[in-house]
Each structure stands twice: as C-alpha cells, then as structure tokens.
Amino acid sequence: MNQPVLPRHTSPERFLNRELSFLAFNKRVLAQAADPSVPLLERLKFICIVSSNMDEFFEIRVAGIKEQLKLGSALPGNDGLLPLDAFRRLGMHAHAIIGEQYALLNDVILPALAAEGIVFLRRAQWTPEQQEWIHAYFVSELMPLLTPIGLDPSHPFPRVLNKSLNFAVELDGPDAFGRSSGAAIVQAPRALPRVIQLPKEMTGVDYGFVFLSSVLHQHVGELFSGMDVLGCYQFRVTRNSDLFVDDEEIKNLRTALQGELPQRHFGDAVRLEVADNCSTIMANFLLMQFGLGPDDLYRAPGIVNLVRLISVPDLIDRPDLKYRPFQPALPKVLTKRFDIFESVKKQDILLHHPFQSFAPVVELLAQAADDPQVVAIKMTVYRTGTDSILMEHLLRAAQKGKEVTVVVELMARFDEEANLSIASRLEEVGAHVVYGVVGYKTHAKMLMVLRREQENKKGVFRRYVHLSSGNYHPRTTRFYTDFGLLTCNEEIGDDVNEVFKQLTGLGKAHKLKHLWQAPFTLHANMIAAIRAEAALARSGKKARIIAKMNSLLERQIIEELYEASNAGVEIELIVRGVCALRPGVKDMSENIKVRSVVGRFLEHHRIFYFLADGEEKVYLSSADWMERNFFRRIEICFPILDARLKRRVIKEGLRVYLNDNVQAWEMDSEGEYSLKPSRRSRSAAQESLLAELSGVTALAASAAEDVE
C-alpha cells in the first residue's frame, strides 16, 4: 500500500534518532538495576535484560546500519544522520552503557549478593576442596562435550554460532604431530548451564556458584596435552539475525523460511565481545577472522554473556530478595464458576494484564473446544510459546471435528521456529493453517468463536470475540501490561470476521463498522482523529490527545501531532521505548509532553484517547505508531464502546500513568530522560494497579521494604 504524502515540514531537526532513542530506553532499564528500592535479585535480572536488549539491538539495528555502510549508502535517516555518523555515535553510547552495566554488576550487585550469602567464586578464591570438586565436574560433565580446534592449514577457523560462548587459546610448543600453530578455539557447549552451584557445605554460604567460563579456563590445559597455555580468552560474536525472504520470488513462504532459518546463526558478524584480559594480538586476530574493525570490539570486565545469568534467581530460594508474588484476579463477573459464553453474552469484559488473569481467554478456547454448539474457531498467532495451552485447546477442537482456522505469522522475529512447529501440529489434526499475506506481517491479535445458539426458538449463529493489544502468550501475560476485550457485539464480530476473510481468502477490502485496520484505514483514521482535535482547538474548544504505546516513529503522525500542538491541543504521550518526536520545542511542540514508565512489568499497552468535544473516544490496538505497523503489517485498532469499560481504560491505562511520580521518566527536546521526583504523595502506576486489581495490597512497596 502506498504511503501518503508527508506534510510540508520534514527537516531533520524535527526528529530524533531511532537507534539513539533505543539506547536511551536501555539506560532507563539499567536504572532499575541501580535502584536500591528494587529487590536485589530483580536488579540482577534487569542487568540481564539490558544485555538481551543490546544483543537484539546489534543483531537487527546495528546490523542494518552496517549493511548500509557495506553498500556505500550515503542516505541520511529522518534525523539527518548519515549511516557512518550514526554508527559512530551508536558505538560511543553503546560502549558507555555496557561500561556502566559491568561497573554496576561488579561493584554493586555482586558485592550486595555476597553480603546476602550468594557468592560467585572466582578462581583465585577456590579452596583445595572446591578445586577438587570443580575438577571432577570438568572431567565428568564438561570435557566429554568439548572439541578443541587447533588452527592450522588443515583446521581453518571454525564457524562460530551467533552469541555462543567460545574461548581463544594461545599455545606454545608442538603437538603429537609436530604442529605448533600457536592458537586454538574451544566452543562451550550450549547445553550446559553458565553457572554451576557448589554444595553448600563446601562453600560456607547459602548459595555458592562458579561460572562455567571459570571452570573451562582453569582446566583448558588438559585439552592440549604437553603444550603450554599462554592465554585463554572468552569471546562471543553477535551476528546479523534479520531474516531475508524475497516476497517477489518465493512460491511457498513456509519452505522459504525453513531454508533461511539455519543461516540466522551464521549471518555477518556485527560485534565482537572479548574478556578484558584478551591480548591485543588475539583480539586483532579475532576481528580479522570475523571481518570486523576496531570499532566493533567490546571488552567485557567479566563474563561475556550476562544474559545467561537470568536463570540465577530461579536457583535461589530468597523471597525477600525478589518481587512479592501476586495472584492475577478475575473480573467480578467471572469470579464464580462461570460459563464464559453466558458471561460475555451479558456484557463486554475487559481484562487488564498482568493484574488480571489471562485465564478467561484460555477458558474461552477450552470451553469452545468441548462445547457441541461451537462450530468454528478462528485465531491469529504471532507469539504464543512452544508449549502453549492455547494451542492444545485448538488441537483438541480440531480433533473433535470443529472448523479450526489459524493464521500463523511465520515471520514473527525470533519465534519463527516455534511458529513453524505449531503450524505443523495443527495441520496434522486437520486445522486450516494459513500464513496471512506475503509482504505483510499479521500482527493483529484476534480470536473468534462461532457458536450455534437458540434464540426465540430459532437457531442463530453468534460470534464471541477476543481482541487484544498483546500476544496470545500465557507466560508473557504475567509480565507485560496489556488490555484484552471479550465481546459478542454483533458489529465488532462482523468486522473481525471480515478481517479473517481477508487473511484466508481473496477479494477487496470491505469497509469496517468499528475496527481501524492496517494497512488500509488505520493510518488515515488516526490522522483524521488528530486533525479533528486540532480543529476543535482552533475553534476555541478544549482539545486533548493521550496516547500510550511502545514506539513512536512514523513521520506523518509526528508532523500531525506538531500541527495539533501549534493549534493548542494538549498532547500527552506515554512511550515506553523509542520516540523520534521532540517535545517542548517552541513554535513546534510546546503543548506536547512525553514520558516513559519503566518498572517491574514491561509496558505494552497501545491506547489512543481523543477528547472529541467531550465524547471521549478510546481505542486499543495491536499497533504502535511506526511506519511498519501502519503500512507493512496487518493490525487492528478497536474502540471501547461500553461506557463503563471506557472509564476503566482511561483510569487504569492512562490516568494512573500520567500521575506516576516514581517510575515515570520525562523526556526533553534533545531526547534525554530524567526522573522528576515529586513532593506529592508517592504514586507508582504498576504498584497502584497491583493493589487495586490483583486483590493483594502494596506488593511492590512491601518488596522494597524487605530489601531495606
């Protein structure tokens, strides 16, 4: 679909850099790890989340810039930065964040854990008894899996998997065949944990761990009998992981993707991480092997893969060092033993995750699979996990002879293999599996159950629909904030049915009654709503826009917001991550405020509010305000029609976040964020929602008090 013509103002000064904005978000995540009010083991998790985010940043965003450099592109981004300038600035900021991350881990988090009896033992600290135990572990668990590769003319440098842990070993002396190449590579088995717990009686503390890297480093000489080990250095390479499938050439998307997936682990290298003790000679040698330059080298004062530490809190039974657990509540209409169909027939039901349970969605599918009156189920799958209970219910429904249609998005980044597996299992039991529309990711979150019911002594079909801002992934619904709507509104059901017809069949797009849909009407309708507020402001009426999303990048939307601001519209944006809009600039965005809330849960709602001359129009959506969501994805945006539920969305999804004075970061016109402590009473959105909706009071506050 062609994109609309941009407004007249498109100068670079009006936009912030996307990648730098992402790094600013990572700094806000890192601030959670530095916050002493956050439970200690959760602070360790935030350290790991930063590493995971940075991995994907290099795999996708930096990889894209390096592709531009390889092709000699001199095309500037929306912010005016040329690819080379952007790459250098990103590198400077990335090095700074990683430096702060390791300093926080080494100087604050690990000592604080040690004070709590959770110790990571360095090699120099091992007692003779510990050394004996660790050596036995090496011989029995590690050594049989290792394949050292000497580097010589008959043993070229091995293919190194993306993000795998490896060791470069400097050697001296000839081997059994008289070879003396001086170097070897040892790849750490991915099947083994990166931290190993020692017996409590051997460490004198409650929890004593050693790093797998320390074990291998200590005993690497046993892999090279008779040779001297001069140095052993951890390293890790990050590769371009963006899959390329040529939409114009492929005949079968599934087959094309299956052919492309194995290459993800061996894409072009984009970053090399080495231990900070790595010799300059070895670091340069590794850079040469991976076709990288000095700017691509990152020295780590510690283990090079912090992501794997995220499993450590699960090994430690210290509730006082973790967030207080909570039980997601059910809406009152569903608190007793309920018939999901009767409940939804009586009224629309709004679910606010993770504070409220995802169980009603699971129950909808469970009851649909077993209900003889249900004749068909249709669902979109973007991310749902490998062992999803939802998929089990769909499989059972298909086995019972119901018409099950599943639109599986094969190109859901990093979930492609799981989704291929789901598609195969569904096909085996007779479900209809389609892959949406080539060239457009199916990102809409829709579930529809068709049920034959008796009404006025006549048989009728009724559609029960679930729409959501988040994925059908039972695990992430415990950690992501999202809204879901259960309804049997006839017109919304008709709209959803029409979208499914587009996804599974052929034909022109019909006009929808309530849903805004990308790539057809979402962008135009969003602009129309913004312009309507601007027109009201120009006529002297009060006008207001509040929008909450993950990312704000699309240029025309930003320009329309600027125009609305100049017209006098009060605009408040809650953008978790990347934001290219500059707020608070005289004669451009004086009436726009941007804030980002980062806390225990990942903020994931997409909520759009327009005052609309007092009508207060409220929409939920699967789409962020990004070019890809508007023009290269199939998305839906749906209104909240029930006045009671509309008030809830405004209160729980917007107002509480605008009142947050604890975890809300305010953005300035240069893209810098700062916390603005308030002298007013403490108000933290996520804590308030936990207390109000989950039925458990002061959860996060109690957890913080436990740490202190």
- Residue 330: left (phi > 0), alpha (psi -120 to 50), or beta? beta
Verify whether residue 473 is a known catalytic residue. no
What count of other Cβ atoms lies within 10 Å of the Cβ of residue 679? Answer: 5
How far apart (Å, rounded) are the C-alpha atoms in residues 409 and 403? 19
Cβ–Cβ < 8 Å for 619, 640? yes
How far apart (Å, rounded) are the C-alpha atoms in residues 88 and 76? 14
Catalytic: which of 217, 219, 393, 443?
443
How far apart (Å, rounded) are the C-alpha atoms in residues 612 and 606? 19
Residue count of the chain: 708
In single-letter form, the type of residue at position 149 comes to I
Assign 97 to helix, strand or coil.
helix
- 153 burial type by CB count under 10 A (0-12 exposed, 13-18 middle, 19+ buried): exposed
- Helix (H) or strand (E) segment spanning residue 637: strand 633-639
Q: If you search the block for the tokens 């070879």, which residue do you land on? A: 179
CA distances from 169 to 148, 150, 231 (A): 10, 9, 6
**Structure token pair of residue 54:** 């940075």
For the chain, what is the total number of helices (H) and then of strands (E)? 22, 27
Furthest-apart CA atoms within the chain: distance in Å: 93
- 288 burial type by CB count under 10 A (0-12 exposed, 13-18 middle, 19+ buried): exposed
Q: At residue 702, what are phi and psi to the nearest 5 degrees? A: -65, -40
Could you list the beta-strand ranges (E) of 477-614.
Answer: 480-487, 516-518, 544-549, 570-575, 592-597, 602-603, 607-610
Q: If you search the block for the tokens 């001199």, which residue do you land on? A: 74
What count of other Cβ atoms lies within 10 Å of the Cβ of residue 650? Answer: 17
How far apart (Å, rounded) are the C-alpha atoms in residues 261 and 245? 10
**Structure token pair of residue 364:** 């909808």
**Which DSSP string do the residues of 72-119 spell out, in sequence order?**
T-----TTS--HHHHHHHHHHHHHHHHHHHHHHIIIIIHHHHHHTTEE
How far apart (Å, rounded) are the C-alpha atoms in residues 134 and 145? 16
Torsion 384-385-386-392 (CA) sign = negative
- Closest of 600, 596, 597, 599 to residue 581, by C-alpha: 596
Q: Give the active site residues.
A: 443
